[in-house]
Structure 1
Amino acid sequence: MPSNHILNFPPQAAGQRLDQFLADQFPEFSRSQVKKLIDEQRVLVDGRAAKAGEKLKGGETLSIEIPAPTPIAPQPEAIGLDILYEDSHLIVINKPAGLVVHPGAGHFSGTLVNALLHHCEDLAGIGGELRPGIVHRLDKDTSGVLVAAKNDAAHQDLARQFKAHSIKRHYLALVHGLVQNDQGEIDRPISRHAVERKKMSSRASRGRRAVTRWQVLKRFDRDRLTLLDLTLETGRTHQIRVHFADLNLPLVGDPVYGSSARTNALNDTELRSLVRKLGRQALHARLLGFVHPASGEALEFQAAAPPDLQAILTYLDEKYLIEDQG
């Protein structure tokens, strides 16, 4: 069924293009998809048809009709996987940065699900469909350990463990700023950003509870950077990135919650070059532990930081060792 939405354009955003505003409000759609809605006159401004590039003044009422989606079944694709463990119940992989986990708007192919459909010849099906069971996700540009189920029983048991917060998850993160305490906890609800709809925020009045615990591994004082080990009690969208950005400690390289100004402010030209080459948030899911849904055995899997992130960490370690010895 198509869905209809009514939005009021905020006066404080006066001068913003119609297509840009709608792209922010509906992050699941690309700019070209938004333009198509406008061109098909599915978007009305105060009851009239409009153009994608029209600049709004503030106070307008926008009505948007979104047609019912056409279901597209994911197709198997021969995409290489770094497999850490596999049996007839589940598969654990080290996901590279840049790989989307599940097909969605703008990503109907080239995802982890497409790769698993090709690789796993023993899928028993999830919910009556021959597909892998995605129990948790990592952002497209976050690397690290991820588990997927091959059958309903495994999927339901792993989902129960995640819901009970009994899954062991550790992340490695490099943030701008010097974290003062050696360890701590962030307990702030997360919801969709009030204005920038592609982003999440922990500053909204309402949201879902989100808890991130952190421990300082290293401080790089002269570059004002901190390396953290993070554990999650909950798994909200962009949780780590939002929590630290809202504390003015954005992840190094984060293109959404950070800013190029923080990278440009790095005085070390080699370090600045390495961060620019990274081109994404310095975040890696380094460890995942859970109870096997069939055997009851406690399992734990680790993955080293990928080369682009490790290059930054190695450079910092060597730099500070040489400077401290000097």
Structure 2
Amino acid sequence: MAEAHDLALLNAAENPELRLLVEPADAGTRIDRYVAANVPDLSRSYAHQLLEDGHITLNGADARPSAQLRAGDMVLVRRPLARPTDLVAQDIPLTVVYEDADVVVIDKPAGMVVHPAPGHLDGTLVNALLARYPDITVGSDLRPGIVHRLDRDTSGLLVVTRNDPARHAIQAQQLARTMLKAYLAVVEGRFKEPSGVIDAPIGRHPTDRLRQAIVANGRVARTHWQVVEELGDYTLIEARLETGRTHQIRVHFSHKSRPLLGDPLYGPRKPRATFGLTRQFLHAYRLGFALPSTGERVEFQSPLPGDLQAALEALRARATGTR
């Protein structure tokens, strides 16, 4: 247990680190089970999610929740662990596109964080969901019902599950890559081909903890894209996720020297123009999956929000010389 390990809690203001040195008795244990057993107040489901998000590393590299440990391995937990009792229901307006006894489809606005995290302990989508659907208790401690996410400043559609069978059904579709998750994005530059696939592994940036990067030991990440409209020296594209890594679209197109318009994290330090945007031009506009209860295939669409539509019109006017 924790007291038998070499534990060091570094009291950094925003990013304390908990180090666990694996003893011979724990060799062969799954890392998610090991972390849950050795970190107070941390459930296995939350440990699983932290591993998926890259907040827990094994010998300095990202690890799958199922990775088996060896004696002498070093497990590093980088994220402060809020307790489930920190969650509060808050009456925050939501745009509900669809709901039944199993799932809810939300059209998330830009600026809303999906789940509580350090620096965002309330005012999130989860807080709003708990007020509207108090029966949602499945999933990890701080992410009840959440099976996929959108970045804070990415708008659009996501599905939330209301019970365990529904959660398993949606997760199975994600693993089988049968869910449709399509985005509209404007990127800088143009393409020689009308469509393509970006296949490049993504992991945490080696020096910047806020960023993800293309790294050799990263997790498999594939983004399918096609040109929707050429806008002078910018391009409107549709991007479909085959995998769902953190910041995947933003990282992939930045890596290809086609950063998203307005991206403050992966775009140029001094962008040529913002067209009125204060966030990245990225919108989850189509979402499709099979309903857990009936297996019926459903698909939902979300129109571009006002700020993105205005930027698109400005780009069109610039490209045609009408403004």
CA distance in 2, matches of 1:120, 1:81: 12
CA distance in 2, matches of 1:87, 1:297: 13
Which of 115, 125, 128 pairs up with 1:112?
125
Q: 1:313 to 1:151 in 2, by over 3 A?
A: same
Counterpart of 1:181?
193
Count of matched residue pairs: 260
Q: How does 1:1-326 map to 2 (within 5 A)?
A: 3-4=7-8, 69=81, 71-73=83-85, 74-121=87-134, 123=135, 125-126=137-138, 132-202=144-214, 204-221=215-232, 224-262=233-271, 265-266=272-273, 272=274, 274=275, 277-321=276-320, 323=322
| Ranges in structure 2 where 5+ consecutive residues have no aligned partner | 18-75
The percent of aligned pairs where both chains have the same amino acid is 43
Secondary structure at 2:92 match in 1: coil
Structure (1/2) with the larger helix percentage: 1
Q: Deviations over 1:58-101 (max 9, x none)?
A: xxxxxx99897451431100100011001111100100011111
Q: Quote the offset at 1:296 in angstroms.
A: 1.0
Q: 1:111 to 1:176 in 2, by over 3 A?
A: same
Q: Quote the offset at 1:4 in angstroms.
A: 2.6
Q: 1:206 to 1:176 in 2, by over 3 A?
A: same
CA distance in 2, matches of 1:191, 1:66: 15
| Ranges in structure 1 where 5+ consecutive residues have no aligned partner | 7-18, 27-63, 267-271
Computed over aligned residues only, the root mean square deviation of the Cα atoms, in angstroms, reads 2.9
Counterpart of 2:40?
none
**Is 1:90–1:147's contact at 8 Å kept on the other side of the alignment?**
yes
Aligned residue identity for 2:236: L
Q: Quote the offset at 1:315 in angstroms.
A: 2.2
Q: Deviations over 1:43-65 (max 9, x none)?
A: xxxxxxxxxxxxxxxxxxxxx99
**Is 2:189–2:258's contact at 8 Å kept on the other side of the alignment?**
yes
Aligned residue identity for 1:207: G
With the length of structure 2 as denominator, give the TM-score of the two structures. Answer: 0.73
Q: Quote the offset at 1:207 in angstroms.
A: 0.7
**Is 1:4–1:65's contact at 8 Å kept on the other side of the alignment?**
no
